[in-house]
Amino acid sequence: MYQLLAVCPMGLEAVVAKEVNALGYETTVENGRIFFEGDETAIAKSNLWLRTADRVRLVMGRFKATTFEELFEQTKALPWETIITEDGNFPVQGRSVKSTLHSVPDVQAIVKKAIVERLKDAYAHKGWLDETGSKYPLEVAIHKDEVLLTIDTSGSGLNKRGYRLAQGEAPIKETLAAALIRLANWDGNTPLIDPFCGSGTIAIEACLIAQNIAPGFNRSFVSEQWDIMPDDLYEQLRDEADQQSDYDKEVEVYAYDIDPEMVDIAIRNAEEVGLSEVIQFGVKDVNTLDIHTDQPIALIGNPPYGERIGDREEVEEMYRYLGKLMRQHKNLSEYILTSNKEFEFLTQQKATKRRKLFNGYIECTYYQYWGKKPESKS
């Protein structure tokens, strides 16, 4: 069994933990870190299925160190040869926050040297390690003198789903888009509108969730090349994921944007993942958006924030209209991510729930307005 770590942005820990639990693993949660235990199948499964985590790391060790000697000896004492092969390529990246060992280049060099020594002893290897084999991206993270040594099992971040052929100026990460949908508890059984669709990420992620399509289905992972992973494990799990998908589920998702070029990009991205016929795309100004149903409907969006002076009036008018829509349609639930602190004032609506999230480095609030639920027929 390995100790594994799903990494996520601050504010999304509960969402990621819930996803890990759904795969059948118990979790321990810290800031931006969800720890769980599992075997090789857990490594592959979590990479294939986690929608809202940034990546999955394998934890090698955790200890306190305030001197380079302590760092070297405790790193060398870990069983690196159980994961890294004799010819393994293991680049070391480092981070240090509020710690005695604050020089990151020195920390990286010490950790690298300790692992080299350990592997040379374990494999009775003389001379240089050539590192021409599989890649084991290693991270040393020190926070308040506590060292965490991990190996990345994902490779490129889990937000890289393999469908984004093109994007606009400030696209929302796929993992954050999936989290917005999770937080809205949207499951595909009611219509969904994204009136600021940009390159289509929210609409695409919504369909992947509704049809239970594994987000990592169309990409590869660095751990696929590792000797510890059984042959064909990833392929076998991809086949299982394919069988679990509900491609025929009818989903009503509308994706609009005022910019025709962005809508074209969104359609191309949706085509890449086989969803261009499922999502209904259109060029539309949000201020002309109308809702023609008295059934529950969700609007999830990441609108412009109005941070550029010239955009402010336009954005404020947009927010006022979103408030008007809610007043007109009691069955409408709105979920809006913005850094604009005036959102509730402009919509003249107090949010049912607010959640602080980060869109990249921008601190935002996710304003959640719950629409009226239909009365249950007794």
**What CATH number has the domain bearing residue 266?**
3.40.50.150
102 and 193 co-located in one domain: no
56 and 181 co-located in one domain: no
Proportion of the chain above pLDDT 70, given as a percent: 98
For the stretch 96-133, pLDDT in tens is: 999 999 999 999 999 999 999 999 999 999 999 999 99
> Does the pLDDT at position 377 exceed 80?
no
For the stretch 316-357, pLDDT in tens is: 999 999 999 999 999 999 999 999 999 999 999 999 999 999
CB proximity list for 68: less than 8 A, separation 6 or greater: 101, 106, 110
Strand arrangement of the beta sheet that strand 362-369 belongs to: 279-283, 253-257, 192-194, 297-301, 332-338, 362-369, 353-359
Contact 165, 269 (CB under 8 A): yes
Q: How many CB atoms lie within 10 A of CB 353?
A: 11
pLDDT of residue 170: 75
109 and 253 co-located in one domain: no
- Domain with 337, as residue range(s), is 174-211+246-369
Mean pLDDT of 147-170: 92
Instruction: Write down which residue in 107, 122, 152 finishes a domain.
Output: 152
Q: Is residue 32 part of a domain?
A: yes
260 and 351 co-located in one domain: yes
Q: Is residue 120 part of a domain?
A: yes
> Does the pLDDT at position 310 exceed 70?
no
148 and 180 co-located in one domain: no
Domain harbouring 27, CATH code: 3.30.2130.30
> Does the pLDDT at position 95 exceed 90?
yes
251 and 121 co-located in one domain: no
Instruction: Write down which residue in 120, 152, 184 finishes a domain.
Output: 152
Q: Is residue 317 part of a domain?
A: yes
Q: How many CB atoms lie within 10 A of CB 130?
A: 11
284 and 351 co-located in one domain: yes
For the stretch 232-283, pLDDT in tens is: 999 999 999 999 999 999 999 999 999 999 999 999 999 999 999 999 999 9
pLDDT of residue 311: 81
Proportion of the chain above pLDDT 90, given as a percent: 92
For the stretch 40-79, pLDDT in tens is: 999 999 999 999 999 999 999 999 999 999 999 999 999 9
Domain count, the chain: 2
**Burial state string for 99-114 with b = 16 or more CB within 10 A and e = fewer than 16:** bebeeeeebbebbbeb
pLDDT of residue 140: 98
Q: Is residue 84 part of a domain?
A: yes
89 and 200 co-located in one domain: no
178 and 66 co-located in one domain: no
pLDDT of residue 20: 98
CB proximity list for 127: less than 8 A, separation 6 or greater: none
Q: Is residue 90 part of a domain?
A: yes
Q: Is residue 228 part of a domain?
A: no
Q: Is residue 159 part of a domain?
A: no
From 240, 243, 274, 234, select the one nearest 56 (Cα to Cα): 234
Per the DSSP assignment, residues forming a β-bridge with 27 are 36
Q: Is residue 76 part of a domain?
A: yes
130 and 178 co-located in one domain: no
Average per-residue pLDDT for the chain: 95
pLDDT of residue 215: 97
pLDDT of residue 167: 82
pLDDT of residue 168: 78
pLDDT of residue 309: 59
Tokens of 7: 């990494």
85 and 188 co-located in one domain: no
> Does the pLDDT at position 378 exceed 70?
no
146 and 196 co-located in one domain: no
